[in-house]
């Protein structure tokens, strides 16, 4: 896992370079379509959440997350003639995702596959495949395959935007920012120490970085075997915040700019007031850093592309925590690289 985290700058640079030339094909594919639906599970689902927000905020195109069971179990008859369906799977062989893509195409959707394997079933069946360039990923927790999926989402949204190419300058800076964060590791070991102090962890973010918060929560669960709850700070304030006490460590994720920073900063103050065992901040601005007990700095990137690098401090923290707990971060208990949602029926 540590080695593959370190390979992310090169993987991102390769992926951005490979996918940018496909923007005209993406625009043509969506020319008469009004909505984009994403189909994914696990880490790929968290990448899709970023894609959905970026499509709506940057490209002005409605997006949503489709429920695969609507296709695979309910076999619903939907009119998807105005939709582009984007299926996201690192391996391209998760049967549920492959089946849902085929169902969407049969119901009128145009299909885009985002996968790390250009020879996969998902890529072969799609109208257009965005093949990421993560290279072989051996550790079970997705790291470089996840960040390259984020790069694919950025290219996709930029292709659909009124001014295609407007993210290019910021995307060009991403690999260097990721490399800097990996080398610096500021606050990583202290954050891991605080997380180890109690098994109760709450993770929160909102907006364009919400997928990053959910990915951090997922990595803590699968790699460190911790029960973790990942919530939007809006949902957190609608009741669940009442459970926060001295047994909880709160991990808060924020970009350095954008409309969510002030809310995340207020949340940090509130959680401290409620007696949380510790508040750990990933990213944010100087006010956010001052409001948390431990700050793990994020990238110097604008909010729209920040998630491509913002997840890196979380990955480093999770890897360090797993080692501290005596766990193997490369092979979490009971997991494999290709997960079938319904193994009995997919066999």
231-240 pLDDT, tens digit per residue, is 887 777 766 6
CB-CB contact of 44 with 147 (8 Å): no
pLDDT surpasses 50 at 209: yes
Largest CA distance in the chain: 54
| pTM of the entire predicted model | 0.94
> Which of the four pLDDT bands, split at 50, 70 and 90, describes residue 347?
very low
Mean pLDDT of the chain: 93
The answer, yes or no, to whether residue 346 has pLDDT greater than 50, is: no
Can you tell me whether residue 347 is helix, strand or coil? coil
Residue 341 clears pLDDT 70, i.e. is over it = no
**DSSP strands (E only) in 274-339:** 278-283, 294-296
Q: Is the predicted pLDDT of residue 265 greater than 90, yes or no?
A: yes
- pLDDT score of 333 more than 50: yes
Mean pLDDT of 102-117: 98
The Cα–Cα gap between 76 and 73 comes to: 8
Residue among 236, 208, 223, 230 nearest 307 (CA): 208
């Amino acid at each position: 896992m540590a080695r593959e985290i370190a390979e992310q700058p090169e993987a991102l640079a390769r992926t951005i370079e490979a996918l940018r030339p496909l923007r005209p094909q993406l625009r043509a594919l969506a020319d008469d379509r009004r909505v984009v639906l994403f189909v994914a599970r696990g880490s790929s689902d968290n990448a899709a959440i970023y894609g959905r927000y970026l499509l709506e905020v940057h490209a002005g195109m409605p997006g949503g997350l489709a429920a695969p069971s609507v296709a695979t179990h309910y076999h619903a008859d939907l009119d998807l003639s105005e939709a582009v369906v984007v299926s996201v799977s690192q391996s391209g062989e998760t049967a549920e995702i492959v089946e849902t893509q085929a169902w969407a195409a049969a119901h009128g959707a145009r299909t885009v596959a985002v996968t790390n394997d250009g020879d996969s079933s998902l890529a072969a069946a799609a109208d257009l495949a965005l093949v990421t360039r993560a290279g072989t990923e051996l550790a079970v927790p997705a790291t470089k395959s996840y960040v390259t999926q984020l790069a694919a989402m950025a290219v996709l949204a930029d292709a659909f935007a009124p001014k295609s190419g407007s993210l290019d300058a910021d995307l060009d800076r991403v690999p260097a920012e990721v490399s800097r964060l990996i080398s610096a590791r500021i606050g990583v070991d202290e954050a891991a120490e605080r997380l180890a102090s109690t098994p109760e962890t709450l993770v929160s973010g909102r907006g364009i970085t919400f997928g990053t918060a959910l990915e951090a929560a997922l990595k803590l669960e699968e790699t460190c075997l911790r029960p973790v709850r990942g919530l939007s700070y809006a949902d957190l304030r609608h009741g669940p915040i009442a459970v926060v006490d001295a047994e909880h460590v709160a991990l808060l994720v924020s970009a350095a700019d954008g409309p969510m920073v002030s809310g995340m900063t207020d949340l940090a103050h509130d959680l401290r007031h409620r007696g949380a065992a510790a508040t750990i901040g990933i990213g944010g601005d100087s006010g956010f850093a001052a409001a948390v007990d431990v700050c793990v700095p994020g990238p110097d990137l604008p909010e729209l592309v920040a998630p491509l690098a913002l997840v890196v401090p979380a990955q480093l923290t999770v890897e360090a925590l797993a080692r501290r707990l005596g766990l193997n971060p490369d092979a979490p208990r009971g997991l494999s690289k290709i997960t079938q949602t319904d193994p009995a029926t997919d066999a």
